[in-house]
Amino acid sequence: FCLIDQTSQQRHIIDSFRPDVKSSSFQRPQTDMNTASGIPKFVPLTIIQQDDNPYVRDGTMFIKVIVDFGDIPKLLLPYTLSLNPGLPILLQHEWIKREIEKKAQQNTLNTTSTSSSMDQDMNTNENGNRN
């Protein structure tokens, strides 16, 4: 879920949850109403009710929702929510996949550079000379 900041500040409020598929909230209703489930503290009502808040403009606010049947990492939600919703879904999924691969590659590079830096430190004595 993303509450869109309608100013140039772009301070969107983003949150997510993974449903418990065994919960009655996500089953076919057995009565007139299911048990509520979701994010009870997504945005405090006081923020939305403030005059001149960035989320309500001309009596309108936008909440973007993504239903993901895959496993988009939580760290990629800001990127995912920034994609143009008018793009074909297959293209959006391809871009998300590329971003996941890019982040994984960056993590590998960071791990490798940290490891080689530690190796250099371990091969240097107190005087700064290599062993």
Give residues with Cβ within 8 angstroms of 54, minimum separation 6. Answer: 5, 6, 7, 9, 11
* DSSP codes, 83-120: S-TTS-HHHHHHHHHHHHHHHHHHHHHHHHHHHHHHHH
Cβ proximity of 83 and 95 under 8 Å: yes
Q: Where are the domains of the chain?
A: 1-65, 84-131
pLDDT at 34: 78
pLDDT digit string, tens, across residues 57-88: 999 999 988 777 677 777 888 888 888 878 88
Q: In whole angstroms, what is the distance from residue 108 CA to residue 102 CA?
A: 10
Report pTM.
Answer: 0.58
pLDDT at 119: 54
